[in-house]
Amino acid sequence: MNQKWHKGLAAAAVFTLLLSGCGQSKPPAQNPGAAAPPATTEQGSQQGTNEPPQTATPQPNQEQNKELKVKAYYTDANFEKLVEKEVTISFKQDQDKYKAALEKLETSPDNQTLPLFKGFTFHKVELSNGQLTIDLSMSPESHLGSGGEEMLLTALQNTLFQFTEVQSIQVLVDGKQVESLMGHMDLPHPIKRN
């Protein structure tokens, strides 16, 4: 009978230890990936409660995000004419609006138009003294026929010259001046506002 009593007492002691241990292990259970001691986890979660006021810092960034409606140019489904569409660009600083406008030309806003700038990557778009310098790359899929290249250059000018501060456009391909983007139309250096 004493052995049963000792076993029962031992079981009760183990049960009590488990219960007291469960209360201490709750914070790690809230963060199952943490292998650190509970004190570290609790401090981390306390610091986490101090962070929400710090997460208010992205709100000024959201306030800095500006939106502007601009005209962007695409081609119709038959590649016969330019189609003007009003699109909304989003940017943080004024100098970023030119690149944001160019990036809108890479994809079509609807099913009735096609992008002329598909396969283009704009590395640098920078305005200095009225001249907008664009450094871009073109993938093989971006090459068009002579009519397509002419529409592309017109779309580029129409899109960028709507910003009154842009007086000329210098287009570089992988950092170099080229005579033509696709081999059909001459590319002036720079393209000047008419």
Decide if 119 contacts 139 (C-beta within 8 A): yes
Q: Which SS3 state, helix, strand or coil, does residue 85 take?
A: strand
Of the candidates 162, 85, 167, the residue with the CA atom closest to the CA atom of residue 130: 167
52 and 67 assigned to the same domain: no
Query: Hunting for tokens 């914070």 — which residue is that?
Result: 27
- 17-70 confidence digits (pLDDT tens): 444 454 444 444 444 444 544 444 444 444 444 544 444 444 544 456 899 999
Same domain, 29 and 109: no
39 membership: H or E segment, kind and range: helix 38-54
The residues with which 64 forms a beta bridge, in sequence order, are none
Q: Tokens standing for 18?
A: 């488990």
193 DSSP assignment: P
Of 56, 71, 98, the position where a domain reaches its end is 56
- Whether 50 and 135 have beta carbons less than 8 Å apart is answered as no
Q: Do 13 and 71 lie in a common domain?
A: no
Q: What is the pLDDT of residues 151-171, one digit of tens each?
A: 999 999 999 999 999 999 999
pLDDT at 135 over 70: yes
Domain total in the chain: 2
User: Which domain does 30 fall in, by range?
Assistant: 2-56
**100/186 same-domain check:** yes
Q: Give the end-to-end CA distance of the chain in Å, rounded to a whole number.
A: 108
Q: Do 37 and 98 belong to one domain?
A: no
What is the dihedral angle through the alpha carbons of 118, 67, 70, 135, rounded to the nearest 10 degrees? Answer: -40
Residues 121 and 184 in one domain: yes
Considering the domain architecture, whether residues 104 and 134 belong to the same structural domain is answered as yes
Residues 16 and 89 in one domain: no
Q: Are residues 40 and 122 in the same domain?
A: no
Q: pTM of the entire structure?
A: 0.66
> Are 31 and 41 in contact, with CB atoms under 8 Å apart?
yes
The pLDDT-based confidence of 141 (bands split at 50, 70, 90) is: confident
Give the pairing of strands 66-76 and 168-173: unpaired
Dist. CA 112–CA 19, nearest whole Å: 67
Looking at the fold, whether 52 and 102 belong to one and the same domain comes out as no
In terms of domains, do 31 and 72 share one? no
Same domain (yes/no): 101, 30: no
